[in-house]
Amino acid sequence: MSHTAHIRSHRKPRRNASKIAMRAGVAGGVLGTLAVAGASGSASAAEPVTQTLELPTLTADMAVQVAQSAEVTQQAAANYQLQAERDAAAAKAAKEAKADLADAKKKAEARKKAAEAARKAAAERASRAAERTALSASTSASASTPAAGSGASASVSSGSSAATGSAAAVISFVKAQVGKAYVSGATGPSAYDCSGLVQTAFKQVGISLPRVSQDQSTAGTQVSLSNLQPGDILYWGGAGSAYHVGVYVGDGMFVGAQNPSTGVVERPLSYDPPSGAVRVL
């Protein structure tokens, strides 16, 4: 025995066999766990792990919500379509309104022009009527005044001297035109204006006359209304400024293309007394 064996603090403590055994067991268990983990890791590396996801179950409330959402979407689509149709209808209506406005403006302009033309025509007719009235009064006064140097009174001739030769041909032609239409600017054969009828009538016997009344009133020799012969050209208005012409056909009658309402007519001199006459035959 050691000389210090009797001292308790210097004694080496004995190891408890049970503790040693337990430590050995724990170590063995740890090693076994590591071995199992390694094997398990190898197995995991060899076979992939499949995971399964579970979707939520469609409940009654969710089904109602889905249905409501679909209904709202359909309603929105219907509203968009309705709005598009309204926009298209509005655009079409605006286009039609614009076209109608343009058409109305054209018609209004046409009516305005027609009214202006009618006003001018009425004013021209009134002016002619006034001038004829004044000329008629002047002619009547002249006819009732004794001619200077003679005791005879001047009057419009109504003699019935028979026409011969070229005069007879002119008279035959104008009488054949009675009843035809009056058209401004027309020279036959279906319609005439006053100077067109006179020009065409004298053309039948080879005499070329000017086209308008003003010039025809000075185309020949001025003759007195009291000394008219068949075939003389009658004019209304001043010589060189006449507004109407006709042909004296004898027996106090004349033929002329009067106006659109009467056409070519044969009338007595008293119907519309002329202002003067010229003789070209």
CATH code: domain of residue 178:
3.90.1720.10
Question: At which of 137, 170, 200 does a domain end?
Answer: 137
**Are 198 and 104 in a shared domain?**
no
C-alpha 259/C-alpha 186 separation (Å) is 12
**SS3 state of residue 104:** helix
User: Is pLDDT above 50 for 19?
Assistant: yes
Q: Are residues 199 and 115 in the same domain?
A: no
Instruction: Report the C-alpha gap between 88 and 7 in whole angstroms.
Output: 118
Residue range 108-116: mean pLDDT, rounded = 80
Residue 66 domain-assigned (yes or no): no
Say yes or no: 128 and 222 in one domain: no
- Residue 217 pLDDT > 70: yes
Q: How far apart are alpha carbons 107 and 99 in whole angstroms?
A: 12
Is the residue at 31 inside a domain?
no
128 and 172 both lie in a single domain: no
**Cβ–Cβ < 8 Å for 242, 170:** no
Q: Write down the pLDDT at residue 142.
A: 43
Q: Domain count of the chain?
A: 2
CB of 202 closer than 8 Å to CB of 170? yes
Is 149's pLDDT higher than 60? no
Residues 173 and 269 in one domain: yes
φ, ψ of residue 254 to 5 degrees: the values are -140, 160
Residue 113, Cβ density class (10 Å: 0-12 exposed, 13-18 middle, ≥19 buried): exposed
Within a domain: 153: no
**Global pTM value:** 0.47
Residue 118 pLDDT exceeds 50: yes
Local confidence band at 64 (pLDDT 50, 70, 90 cut-offs)? confident
Whether residue 227 has pLDDT greater than 80: yes
Is the same domain home to 104 and 213? no
Residue pair 223/280 in contact by the 8 Å Cβ criterion? no
pLDDT digits (tens, 9 = 90+) for 174-200: 999 999 999 999 999 999 999 999 999
Question: Which of 221, 217, 219, 218 lies closest to 209, judged by CA?
Answer: 219
In a domain, 255, yes or no: yes
User: Residue 193 in contact with residue 184, Cβ under 8 Å?
Assistant: yes
Residues 127, 171 share a domain: no
* Per-residue confidence band for 73, with pLDDT thresholds at 50, 70 and 90: confident
Domain-embedded: residue 251:
yes
Assign 3-class secondary structure to 183-249.
Answer: CCCCECCCEECHHHHHHHHHHCCCCCCCCCHHHHCCCCEEECHHHCCCCCEEEECCCCCCCEEEEEE
Domain carrying residue 98: 84-137
| Amino acid at position 231, single letter | G
Residues 187 and 88 in one domain: no
* Domain final residue, candidates 137, 152, 176: 137
Residue 19 in any domain: the answer is no
Q: Residues 203, 107: one domain? A: no
- CA-to-CA distance for 97 and 93, rounded, in angstroms? 6
Same domain flag for 182 and 96: no
| Residue that finishes a domain, picked among 102, 137, 172 | 137
CB 256 within 8 A of CB 194: yes
**Same domain, yes or no, for 174 and 216?**
yes
DSSP H helices, the chain, are 17-46, 60-143, 165-176, 194-203, 213-216
pLDDT surpassing 60 at residue 32: no
Residue 204 falls within a domain, yes or no?
A: yes
Residue 148 included in any domain:
no
